[in-house]
Structure 1
Amino acid sequence: MSKDINDLSEQIQTIVDEFQGEVGIIVREGTKNIFSKNEEKIFQSASIIKLFILEALIEKIENNVLLYNQRVLLKNEDKVAGFGALKLLDENINLTIKDLATLMITLSDNTATNMLIDLVGIEYIQEFIKRKGYLETRLERKMFDYISREKGLDNYTSARDSFRVLKNLSKDYIALDILKNQLCNSKIPLYFFRKIEVAHKTGDLTNIEHDVGTLFFKNTSIDLIILAEGQNKDAVLLNNYLGEAVYNFYKE
């Protein structure tokens, strides 16, 4: 008996309606839109901004300005708080740019992110975001830049821009492999962890819980973009329930 895609759409709508907060959501199978809500709504990006940094980095690598195997020394002054492992390590570790990109995505390492922002150039990334037509996305500060944040500067994105950057990165085999090796798996893939491949990136702040990814099934792939603002516990559950609903509908 074939499944009715409208059943999935209705289930997603029910889950979204029960969430007491703001959402930006896209669920697509190829070019077919299964569900969408507030695609253009602007949210604090949290670590989703790291996807745009990665795409700008890839452009510089493709233009032979930077190399994945180029080495960079970790200095104590590079280290910042929050997610990541580099802040815990001794300085003068010799890392490749690919190492930094991998840490930025798979562990959401803030130190690695800031080192890449310095290497690529914050003005270059800002110009890249505009040139690529990411209308709701802005990189205004580095990670844990309290001075800029006190001045009202922050980083922003939308479900629409997050979907586009995910699709662009999925065309690059190195970026896709990094995304598939994500180590932060408490949101979209929690209830089906390791049962299928998921290429994704999470982001969270106080009252912000995002996850942006592609679920790879035997005969298809589903893009699931979730930007959620509300109580953190409830927003995490929203991600869990939406991921579970999509998985249960498409699993073999």
Structure 2
Amino acid sequence: MSMLELPVLTESAEWSVRLIEADTAKVIAEHAPGRLLKTASVGKTFLLAEVARQISVGTLDAMQTITPTAADVVADSGILYLMKQKEMRIDDLCLLIGAVSDNTATNMLLRRIGLRAVQEATRELGFVEMECETAFA
């Protein structure tokens, strides 16, 4: 496969990308691949991956319930902050994170799993220059 043509963006746009062909590991497109940028909800993917790993090895019960603390709640993000039922099962929190990028659900789950565990999982997945640093606001 030849190199893909990437879009031309205005100079004020800061972006970085590297696309690698899965079966050959050949780079098929890139733009400033060494540039480190702040990300928004990418950290949620690593949180969900670590939750899935812990459930699969039996160290986390998907049916365990978690009640939000005041520090977990993020108004105007997702839908959990609007719901009457605040205590949620871990598997339902994962659904809210995956479906609507719910920051309250993310904070609740991050508090249960632990930031350190998510950071370690991120590195173990090969993302050594990326990490989640804080709760979601």
TM-score by length of 1: 0.47
8 Å contact 1:84–1:110 — kept in the other structure? yes
Measured after TM superposition, the shift of residue 118 of structure 1 is 0.9
Corresponding letter in the other structure for 1:9: L
Does the aligned pair in 1 maintain the 2:66–2:87 contact within 8 Å?
yes
Q: Write 1 or 2 for the structure with the bigger share of helix.
A: 1
Which amino acid counterpart does residue 58 of structure 2 have in structure 1? N
How far did residue 29 of structure 1 move?
4.5
CA RMSD of aligned residues (A): 2.4
User: Measured at CA, do residues 22 and 115 of structure 1 come closer, stay the same or move farther in structure 2, by a change above 3 Å?
Assistant: same
Deviation string, structure 1 residues 67-87 (Cα, Å, up to 9, x no partner): 223233345553113420011
Gaps of 5+ in 2: none
- What percent identity do the matched residue pairs reach? 28
Matched, 1:84 2:116: no
Say how many residue pairs are matched. 134
SS in 2 for 1:53: helix
Residue 112 in 1 paired to residue 109 in 2?
Answer: no
Asked whether 1:26 is paired with 2:18, we answer yes
Select the residue among 51, 55, 60 that pairs with 1:57: 51
How far is the alpha carbon of 1:97 from its aligned partner? Answer: 1.0
Range with bigger deviation, 80-89 or 128-137 = 128-137
In 1, distance between residues paired with 2:93 and 2:53?
16
Can you give the 5+ residue segments of structure 1 that lack an aligned partner in the other structure? 145-252
Q: Could you tell me whether the CA contact under 8 Å between 1:40 and 1:136 is conserved in 2?
A: no
From the superposition, tell whether residues 97 and 44 of structure 1 become closer, same or farther in structure 2 (CA, over 3 Å). Answer: same
TM-score by length of 2: 0.80
Change over 3 Å in CA distance of 1:39–1:113 after alignment to 2: same
1:122-157 CA-to-partner distances (Å, cap 9, x unmatched) read 12222333344421112211012xxxxxxxxxxxxx
Q: CA deviation at 1:39?
A: 2.7
